Amino acid sequence: MKLPYYLLDVFTRERLAGNPLAVVLKADGLSDERMQAIAGEFNLSETVFVHAPRNERHAAALRIFTTERELAFAGHPTIGSTVLLGLLHRLSAVRLELGVGLVTAVMERIDRRTGEAKFALPRLPERLAEMPDIAAIAARLGLVESDIGCNGMMPARYSAGSPFYLIPVRDTGALEAIALERRGWSEVFPGDHNAIYVFTATPDERGTDYAARMFGVGTDQGEDPATGSAAAALVGLLVDEGGYGEGQHVIGLRQGHEMGRPSRIDVQFTIAEGALKHAGIGGSAVILAEGVLDLDE
Q: Which residues pair with 196 in a beta bridge?
A: 165, 215
Q: What is the pLDDT of residue 191?
A: 84
Residues 255 and 188 reside in one and the same domain: yes
- Tell me the mean pLDDT in the region 203-217: 94
The yes-or-no verdict on residue 35 having pLDDT over 90 is yes
In whole numbers, what is the pLDDT of the chain averaged over residues? 95
The yes-or-no verdict on residue 4 having pLDDT over 70 is yes
Backbone angles phi, psi at 22, to 5 degrees: -105, 135
Lowest-pLDDT choice from 85-94, 125-134, 215-224: 215-224
Residues 215 and 264 reside in one and the same domain: yes
Strand locations in the chain, DSSP E? Answer: 2-10, 19-24, 47-51, 60-65, 70-71, 93-98, 101-111, 114-120, 126-130, 156-159, 163-168, 196-201, 210-215, 223-224, 247-255, 263-272, 275-294
Q: What is the pLDDT of residue 263?
A: 98
Q: What is the pLDDT of residue 218?
A: 58
The yes-or-no verdict on residue 219 having pLDDT over 80 is no
Residues 158 and 277 reside in one and the same domain: yes
* Of 235, 285, 225, nearest in space to 257 by CA: 225
Confidence class for position 241, pLDDT limits 50, 70, 90: very high
CA-CA distance, 3 to 146, in Å (whole number)?
52
Residues 131 and 276 reside in one and the same domain: yes
Q: What is the pLDDT of residue 161?
A: 86
Confidence class for position 192, pLDDT limits 50, 70, 90: confident
Residues 189 and 220 reside in one and the same domain: yes
- Name the pTM for this structure: 0.93
- Tell me the mean pLDDT in the region 264-285: 97
CA-CA distance, 47 to 268, in Å (whole number)?
26
The yes-or-no verdict on residue 136 having pLDDT over 70 is yes
- CB-CB contact of 18 with 260 (8 Å): no
Residues 101 and 134 reside in one and the same domain: no
> What number of residues does the chain have?
297
Confidence class for position 48, pLDDT limits 50, 70, 90: very high
What CATH number did the domain enclosing 80 receive?
A: 3.10.310.10
- Tell me the mean pLDDT in the region 192-199: 91
Residues 273 and 288 reside in one and the same domain: no
Percent of the chain with pLDDT over 70: 98
- Tell me the mean pLDDT in the region 106-121: 97
Q: Which of 14, 33, 46, 176 is catalytic?
A: 46
Confidence class for position 100, pLDDT limits 50, 70, 90: confident
pLDDT in tens, 56-87: 999 999 999 999 999 988 999 999 999 999 99
Residues 264 and 131 reside in one and the same domain: yes
* Of 269, 147, 255, nearest in space to 208 by CA: 255
Residues 135 and 257 reside in one and the same domain: yes
Range of the domain at 192: 126-283
- Tell me the mean pLDDT in the region 183-212: 94
Confidence class for position 217, pLDDT limits 50, 70, 90: confident
Residues 159 and 253 reside in one and the same domain: yes
The answer to whether residue 46 is catalytic is yes
Residues 142 and 46 reside in one and the same domain: no
Q: What is the pLDDT of residue 64?
A: 97
The yes-or-no verdict on residue 297 having pLDDT over 90 is no
CA-CA distance, 22 to 6, in Å (whole number)?
6
The angle that helices 75-89 and 228-241 make with each other, rounded to 10 degrees, is: 120
Q: How many structural domains comprise the chain? A: 2
Q: What is the pLDDT of residue 221?
A: 61
SS3 state at 297: coil
Percent of the chain with pLDDT over 90: 90
Residues 112 and 161 reside in one and the same domain: no
The yes-or-no verdict on residue 220 having pLDDT over 60 is no
CA-CA distance, 170 to 200, in Å (whole number)?
6
